[in-house]
Amino acid sequence: MKMLYYGGTIHTMEENGQAEALLVENGVIAAVGDYERLHARAKDAAEINLDGRVLLPAFIDAHSHFSGAAYAMLQAPLGETVNFSEIEDALTRFIANNHIPDGQWVVGKGYDQNALAEQQHPTREVLDRVSARHPIMLVHQSGHMGVFNTLALELLGVTPDTPAPEGGAIGKETGQLTGYMEENAFLQYQQKVPAPDLADLLDACRRAQQLYASYGIATVQEGMMPESLVGLYQALLAHRLLELDVIAYPGVDVLDDICDAFPEAVRRYDRHFKLGGCKMFLDGSPQGRTAWMRAPYQDAADGYCGYPTMTDEALRQALTTAYRSGMQPLAHCNGDAAAAQYLAAIAAAEKKRSDFRDLRPVMIHAQLLARDQMDEVARLGVIPSFFIAHIHQWGDVHIRNFGMERASRISAAGSALARGIPFTFHQDTPVLPPDMLHTIWCAVQRETKDGVTLGADERIPVKDALRAVTVNAARQYFEEARKGSLRPGKTADLVLLDADPLTVSADKLRDIRVLETVKAGETVFRA
């Protein structure tokens, strides 16, 4: 099948910048250039008049949790709640509206203690008021912490004497469990919560793909794949339910087992699924005050700097495993101390193996990656993937946690750009919706919810923000020959917008609408 796009603005994201027309044949870009020449070449093509609208390469998700987005479709949404009472009401309605029987787990997703009137996490007593007959788990918006009710703690076997794993915490007051857990402790027990029915989960995966596609995204990441997801992905592949490309990163401890489960997907696509590398966590979240910092948090009288979640030796072993497997390492680093640990471990690996940089190690989030660390990032070929939407979502919280000077350096894309460091952007979905145009607005404007400009000198031009979610993101995945720009031979992954991000005023960037998303020549979303 041939399609000829014309009649609008086509941004190729190549050096030639724009084109009059784009010819697609069998899901691949066949030609880009002058309309008359392409029209003469393919008179049998279906012509698609853009009618003045804007065509770009489809956006590429540099980091998120695809299965998490699917699970969120089956969970009580708590992102808009402003106090404990609203959390209770939302959970109660969810149980009633979904006719959830006694004994079945209930999960609420997206609360943020920073947005609650109480300015603290709920407790198990709050959740016990919702139900003593349903085990309940709340997942914080960051995904790094959460709360369990009493029945859930009992079913999980957690008692006041249960020790917290290294790099995690189990909340206790006067020797009693509060229900709160963070980092490795929360992740450990979260994975023990039973999964939803497979049929419901497969349908949720279908809806999650529509969510990503509605924001112009054609390539998605499974940012931390445990063994518990093997069955889900086997079912998705068996039923050919993936329309978007999904690139998965197992934890280092299960890397070999998951590669054995999907031998045809190791560093190559099998029915839109690929194992791209391995993932490790080095710290927590800045808004939760668990990111590992070199200097104390604001007003931390005890000198509290957050904490690491991996030892130096464990990290070195993880990078050795990645290298031996030829798998790209991704490390979650929010604080500058975590960034320092990662950079030091990569530098040590490079001394032993000069080609280690060929794995293109990625620093996920890189929130507090400091300017004095940028030269080492450049030298080692590390790709920072900034969670730059933090500026708007939690920028005011960061000012309270770090003070204005340090908060202004959050997601220092301007400093990276000045040093020629290729970087990408992401939303860590389901933490935030996969809204690439809002993210581009964040990078260009750097404005908090309260209207504070957070680091004007770290603002970047729109074109460079677009490159972060197209050209650079394709390179992060070793897919620059197939994706990220519009040139002959590349996959026809396209996004159609109702306005031109390169000509609208900066404050209007987040108002641009995605009209259509095309994956390999096939429309997967239309507004």
pLDDT tens digits for range 116-173: 999 999 999 999 999 999 999 999 988 889 999 999 999 999 999 999 998 899 999 9
Among 148-152, 228-232, 320-324, 353-357, which stretch is predicted with the lowest mean pLDDT?
353-357
Percent of the chain at pLDDT > 90 equals 93
pLDDT of residue 314: 96
Two tokens, residue 325? 């497997």
Cβ distance 177 to 189 under 8 Å?
A: no
Residue 212 has pLDDT above 90, yes or no: yes
For helices 390-407 and 436-445, give the axis angle rounded to 10 degrees: 20
Close Cβ partners of 81 (under 8 Å, ≥ 6 residues apart): 87, 90, 111, 115, 116
Mean pLDDT of the chain: 96
Cα(469)–Cα(58) distance, integer angstroms: 9
What is the model's pLDDT at position 149?
Answer: 97
pLDDT at residue number 206: 98
Q: What are phi and psi of 526, to 5 degrees?
A: -140, 125
Show the tokens assigned to 241. Answer: 């339910």
Largest CA distance in the chain: 80
Q: How confident is the model at residue 354, as a pLDDT? A: 85
- pLDDT computed for residue 262 by the predictor: 98
What is the rounded distance in angstroms from the CA atom of residue 447 to the CA atom of residue 461? 15
**Which pLDDT value is given to residue 520?**
98
Classify the C-alpha dihedral 514-519-525-527 as positive or negative. Answer: positive
pTM across the whole model = 0.91
pLDDT, tens digit, for every residue of 49-104?
999 999 999 999 999 999 999 999 999 999 899 999 999 999 999 999 999 999 99
pLDDT of residue 444: 98
* pLDDT for the residue numbered 1: 86
Residues sharing a CB contact under 8 Å with residue 497, sequence separation 6 or more, in sequence order = 53, 54, 55, 56, 216, 437, 512, 513, 514, 515
Whole-angstrom distance, CA of residue 88 vs CA of residue 94: 10
What per-residue confidence (pLDDT) applies to 34? 95
pLDDT above 90: residue 301: no
Q: Which SS3 state, helix, strand or coil, does residue 304 take? A: coil
Angle subtended at Cα 431 by Cα 429 and Cα 433, rounded to the nearest 5 degrees? 55
Chain centroid offset of residue 265 CA: 21
Tokens of 404: 């204005």
Q: How confident is the model at residue 15 (pLDDT cuts 50, 70, 90)?
A: confident
Strand ranges for 355-507 from DSSP E: 362-365, 383-386, 424-425, 494-497
